[in-house]
């Protein structure tokens, strides 16, 4: 292995390990921080695995250890995860897009845990005659959506077609494949994993011409009803330190989520917002 590569790997491993160097060892009696996780490969894995794993755990564990906390994963479908965060049954849910409605019961921890450009895309059966070139072309059709999910404004606000809410993207695609809905909307970056979870090949459905590119920023969000909400400012401060030390960027590379450089630079110039707004 070239010397330069060895040095780069050594630096990377040090950056990933540095928050743990002064952290207390894990103990069964440590206070618990409950993380709601749903299956959404290639970022979160909760189904058919020995134990849940993914980007949110990789980011949270070092900071939680520094706070003397251990993380307990609560596996749930996406809508249930969101509902438990709303009622304070869990402390944190990961990978959420920010919206005014969600901000009423969630504090979105800065910086974003994932930051990438992807497309919202639509899939149909191959025998679907109507092609979609704009949101207006969906008029009178049925579209499967993730329950309580946020997509893009024009689609979210449209009322000229029926939205069928389901718990996962895999169910959404399966319903279209079985002819129970006309179209499914997905995030292109996660579509392959959703097809796999549905037992489908990506060629089993037709990708429609219409797509919307968007900078997608997914956040760790802390429940305002959580009994541990007072920990949010300190957790945010530690995560920001990890971000500035380069840990987020290394993990984004691990999960094939390269940083959007212009936005990273803009964030680095801004003061952090470490205190949740009440």
| Block residue for tokens 């450089």 | 261
Question: pLDDT tens, position by position, for the chain (278 residues)?
Answer: 444 444 444 455 455 545 444 445 545 556 899 999 998 888 889 988 999 999 999 999 999 999 999 999 999 999 999 999 999 999 999 989 899 999 999 999 999 998 887 889 999 999 999 999 999 999 999 999 999 988 999 999 999 999 999 999 999 999 999 999 999 999 888 898 899 989 999 999 999 999 998 888 899 999 999 999 999 999 999 999 999 988 888 888 888 775 555 444 444 444 333 222 32
CA distance 241 to 246: 9
> Is this prediction's pTM over 0.75?
no
Residues 6+ apart with CB under 8 A from 216: 97, 114, 115, 116, 117, 118, 187, 189
- Name 70's bridge partners: 32
Helix 55-66 / helix 247-254 crossing angle, nearest 10 deg: 150
Residues 6+ apart with CB under 8 A from 133: 209, 210
- Residue 34 has a CB neighbour count (10 Å cut-off) of 19
């Amino acid at each position: 292995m070239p010397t330069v590569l060895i040095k780069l790997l050594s630096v990377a491993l040090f950056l990933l390990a540095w928050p743990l160097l002064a952290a207390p060892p894990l103990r069964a009696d440590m206070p618990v921080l409950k993380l709601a996780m749903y299956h959404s490969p290639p970022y979160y894995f909760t189904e058919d695995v020995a134990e849940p794993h993914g980007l949110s755990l990789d980011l949270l564990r070092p900071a939680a250890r520094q706070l003397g906390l251990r993380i307990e994963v609560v596996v749930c479908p996406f809508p249930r995860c969101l509902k438990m965060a709303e009622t304070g049954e869990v402390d944190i849910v990961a990978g959420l897009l920010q919206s005014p409605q969600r901000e009423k019961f969630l504090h979105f921890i800065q910086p974003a845990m994932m930051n990438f450009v992807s497309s919202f895309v639509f899939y149909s059966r191959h025998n679907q005659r109507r092609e979609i070139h704009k949101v207006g072309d969906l008029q009178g059709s049925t579209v499967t959506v993730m329950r309580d999910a946020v997509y893009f404004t024009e689609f979210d606000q449209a009322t000229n077609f029926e939205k069928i809410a389901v718990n996962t993207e895999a169910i959404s695609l399966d319903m279209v494949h079985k002819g129970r809905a006309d179209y499914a909307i997905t995030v292109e970056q996660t579509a392959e994993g959703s097809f796999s979870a549905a037992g489908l090949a990506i060629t089993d459905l037709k990708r429609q011409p219409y797509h919307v590119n968007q900078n997608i920023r997914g956040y760790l969000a802390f429940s305002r009803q959580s009994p541990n909400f007072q920990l949010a400012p300190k957790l945010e401060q530690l995560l920001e330190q990890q971000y500035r030390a380069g840990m987020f960027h290394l993990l984004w590379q691990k999960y094939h989520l390269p940083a959007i450089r212009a936005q990273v630079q803009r964030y680095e110039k801004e003061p952090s917002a470490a205190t949740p707004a009440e």
